[in-house]
Amino acid sequence: MIAVTNHSQIPFVVYIVNYLPCADVGGRPGQGFPFYTYDKDGSNRQENITDWALREYRRHYQDDTITKWDIFYYIYGILHHPIYRQRYAANLKRELPRIPYAPDFHAFAQAGKRLAELHLNYEQQPPHPLNWIENQDVPLNWRVEKMRLSKDKTQLIYNEFLTLSGIPPAAFAYRLGNRSALDWIIDQYRVKIDKRSGIVNDPNRLDDEQYILRLIGQVITVSLETVQIVNSLPSLGIPLVP
């Protein structure tokens, strides 16, 4: 499912999921566009892109090889285009996205498919290599309490034992709303105690002590490749109004 924000107070956010997501995309009510729809009992699965829409895309591009999955990934690619998001920034805060016919359909479909693979399978990506700076004065420890970045954002203080250095600046260019993907990881993967209930939210895994450490590298990999793909998207064929 492609999920988007639709709120006047936050920047436009788009992401893709293969599990039922929280309804408040980006912290505010959003809208989801699944590839399949179902009856309430889970039966009668149907493709959510209509046959009419498929015919229209094939007619416009004079290409009968276009499939509904191609259209789905094409839309995901379009929604990442920086010119599209800049040109229609005001519209995207108050109404659902409208999808233009870009000159090169298959380039956007291929880019959108690769973006979807990255974003859905981020935990299977190879971690970006970082330099480990170990504090020899404290015992080896993989546990996270609360991570933080250095002022220049080139280092991540993982805990008292370990600091990760060599974070490329481009890792912060892939943003989900007001934050980069890496900033979201730093904020969410920390030990938190609910003030009212006293319940402790601890992201550390006893069965995989280096999971968070590995995840940081994987998210950097996803961020860097996402930025590379987005920057390589072809023209939309629409003018950018200053």
CA 101 to chain centre: 23
What SS3 string covers the chain? CEEEECCCCCCCCEEECCCCCCCCHHHCCEEEECCEECCCCCCCCEECCCHHHHHHHHHHHCCCCCCHHHHHHHHHHHCCCHHHHHHCHHHHCCCCCCCCCCCCHHHHHHHHHHHHHHHHCHHHCCCCCCEEEECCCCCCCCCCCCCEECCCCCEEECCCCEEEECCCHHHHCCEECCEEHHHHHHHHCCCEECCCCCCEECCCCCCCCCHHHHHHHHHHHHHHHHHHHHHCCCCCCCCCCC
Using alpha carbons only, how large is the chain's radius of gyration in Å? Answer: 21
Q: What is the per-residue pLDDT for 176?
A: 86
Judge if 217 and 179 occupy the same domain: yes
Domain boundary among 87, 120, 153: 120
Domain count, the chain: 2
Containing domain of residue 161, as a range?
131-228
How many of the other CB atoms lie within 10 Å of CB of 170? Answer: 14
Judge if 198 and 114 occupy the same domain: no
Position 100 in a domain: yes
Position 86 in a domain: yes
Position 126 in a domain: no
Judge if 116 and 182 occupy the same domain: no
Enumerate residue ranges in the chain where pLDDT < 50: 241-242
Judge if 103 and 26 occupy the same domain: yes
Judge if 167 and 100 occupy the same domain: no
Position 88 in a domain: yes
The residues, ordered by sequence, that sit 6+ positions from 78 with a Cβ below 8 Å of its Cβ are 84, 99, 100, 102, 108, 112, 236
Q: What is the per-residue pLDDT for 242?
A: 43
Judge if 198 and 88 occupy the same domain: no
Position 237 in a domain: no
Q: What is the per-residue pLDDT for 239?
A: 58
Q: Are 136 and 168 in contact (CB under 8 A)?
A: no
- Which pLDDT tens digit goes with each residue over 102-147? 999 999 999 999 999 999 999 999 999 999 999 999 999 999 999 9
Domain boundary among 53, 85, 120: 120
Cα–Cα distance between 111 and 160 in angstroms, integer?
40
Q: What is the per-residue pLDDT for 11?
A: 78
Position 234 in a domain: no
